[in-house]
């Protein structure tokens, strides 16, 4: 039997640069409470959020992604043409196909790059770090751009008291490429589909929009609507939104994810007192506090609190928080950081990295 050749890549991989895009519109709690029965004090106490960013019509998934990725590529010190793979994590690109990664790669100037989307909710960035690390070390790619991007406001019911104040929009990107030294630890990841109903879209698109685009109305839907005295089933369609059962999600994230974070540090051979920066998914400040206590991290560790001013941006939250810490000087290149994401599915992933 003939022996096949296999590819080999760099011994190690690293995050070379990170970039973000935050929408122009700042929405404070005073505006939010005009939509829901709440107060600024309640929102701050429950989540830590003071304000968040909502995308305007021109701040599309594509536009925000390209802006964030260009910053990451520039900071990585490479040219767009050197990028050979683009991965995008999003749950709010509302077109089923093609993958938004293909047109993003084209606009970036990464001609011919492999490009695909993933759906891993708020764990998306950490999922992509693991995938890009493996691609670079396997020799399948040399420079990978990963982008977490969301327009969660497209799927948010601003009158839903449990979610309206949480979700926000934005994009965060990173370049992952070869390294001479270890800079991305082993991923600890997984899912718990038994709890998939805790964070969901209220209905699938075919239920929300009961019409066959290939030739007019759905006759079955028409007949059912007629029986109900409705002339046009399209008139009964409702736009899907996100719903979350907050209390069990809070308990799961606060305690189960602390175990995952500890496993990620152990897999990387890092003790809690050796960790310098902690960048969890920006879901809730109280979750971050609970994880910090459970992990017994040292008092001097730098903790990302990006949620205060930018809300929960799902797949974009970890890279946006990372950029904020690096730009402010609170965290410095070369420091050892733990990143972890968790969200709808329920899915989770975490790893220890060296900051770019």
* CA–CA dist 121, 130 (Å, integer): 15
Which among 29, 281, 284, 309 is annotated as catalytic? 281
| pLDDT per position as a tens digit, 184-235 | 999 999 999 998 999 998 888 877 765 544 344 444 455 555 555 555 544 4
Q: Give Dmax over CA atoms of the chain in angstroms.
A: 71
Q: Which two tokens stand for residue 258?
A: 């602390």
| pLDDT per position as a tens digit, 227-241 | 555 555 444 567 889
* CA–CA dist 97, 86 (Å, integer): 16
Instruction: Kindly provide the residue ranges of all beta strands, DSSP E only, lying in 39-168, ordered along the sequence.
Output: 51-54, 85-89, 114-118, 144-151
What letters, b where the CB count within 10 A reaches 16 and e where it falls short, cover 137-152?
beeebbbbbbbbbbbb
3-state secondary structure of 257: helix
| 284-290, long-range: CB < 8 A, 24+ apart | 284/46, 284/47, 284/48, 284/166, 284/250, 284/253, 284/312, 285/47, 285/48, 285/49, 286/46, 286/47, 286/48, 286/250, 286/254, 287/250, 287/253, 287/254, 287/257, 290/254, 290/255, 290/258
pTM: 0.91
CA-closest candidate to residue 128, choices 188, 171, 94, 88: 88
Cβ distance 346 to 198 under 8 Å?
Answer: yes
Q: How confident is the model at residue 254 (pLDDT cuts 50, 70, 90)?
A: confident
* pLDDT value, residue 205: 80
> Mean per-residue pLDDT for 313-335?
98
Instruction: Point out the least confidently predicted range of 29-43, 123-137, 234-248.
Output: 234-248
- Give catalytic status of residue 310 as yes or no: no
- Give catalytic status of residue 126 as yes or no: no
- Give catalytic status of residue 312 as yes or no: yes
**pLDDT exceeds cutoff 80 at 164:** yes
* CA–CA dist 18, 343 (Å, integer): 22
> Mean per-residue pLDDT for 278-302?
93
Which among 29, 93, 122, 284 is annotated as catalytic? 122
């Amino acid at each position: 039997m003939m022996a096949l050749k296999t590819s080999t890549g760099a011994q190690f991989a690293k995050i070379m640069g990170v970039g973000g895009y935050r929408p122009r519109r700042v929405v404070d709690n005073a505006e939010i409470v005009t939509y829901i029965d709440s107060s600024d004090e309640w929102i701050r106490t429950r989540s830590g959020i003071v304000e968040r960013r909502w995308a305007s019509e021109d701040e599309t998934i594509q536009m925000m992604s390209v802006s964030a990725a260009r910053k990451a590529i520039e900071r990585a010190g490479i040219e767009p043409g050197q990028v050979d793979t683009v991965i995008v994590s999003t749950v709010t690109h509302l077109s089923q196909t093609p993958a938004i990664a293909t047109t993003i790669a084209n606009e970036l100037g990464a001609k011919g790059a492999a490009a695909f989307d993933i759906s891993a909710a708020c764990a998306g960035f950490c999922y992509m770090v693991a995938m890009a690390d493996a691609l670079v070390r396997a020799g399948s790619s040399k420079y990978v751009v990963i982008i977490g991007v969301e327009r969660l406001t497209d799927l948010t019911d601003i009158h839903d008291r449990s979610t309206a104040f949480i979700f926000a929009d934005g994009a965060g990107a990173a370049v992952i490429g070869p390294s001479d030294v270890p800079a991305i630890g082993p991923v600890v990841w997984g899912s718990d589909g038994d709890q998939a109903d805790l964070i969901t879209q209220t209905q699938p698109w075919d239920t929300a929009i009961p019409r066959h685009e290939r030739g007019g109305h759905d006759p079955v839907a028409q007949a059912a609507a007629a029986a109900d005295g409705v002339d046009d089933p399209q008139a009964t369609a409702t736009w899907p939104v996100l719903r979350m059962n907050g209390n069990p999600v809070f308990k799961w994230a606060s305690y189960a994810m602390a175990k995952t974070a500890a496993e990620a540090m152990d897999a990387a051979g890092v003790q809690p007192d050796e960790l310098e920066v902690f960048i969890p998914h920006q879901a809730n400040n109280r979750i971050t506090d609970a994880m910090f206590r459970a992990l017994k991290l040292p008092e001097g560790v730098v903790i990302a609190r990006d949620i205060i001013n930018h809300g929960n941006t799902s797949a974009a939250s970890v890279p946006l928080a990372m950029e904020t810490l690096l730009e402010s000087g609170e965290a410095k290149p070369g420091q050892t950081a733990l990143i972890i994401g968790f969200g709808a599915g329920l899915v989770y992933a975490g790893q220890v990295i060296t900051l770019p």
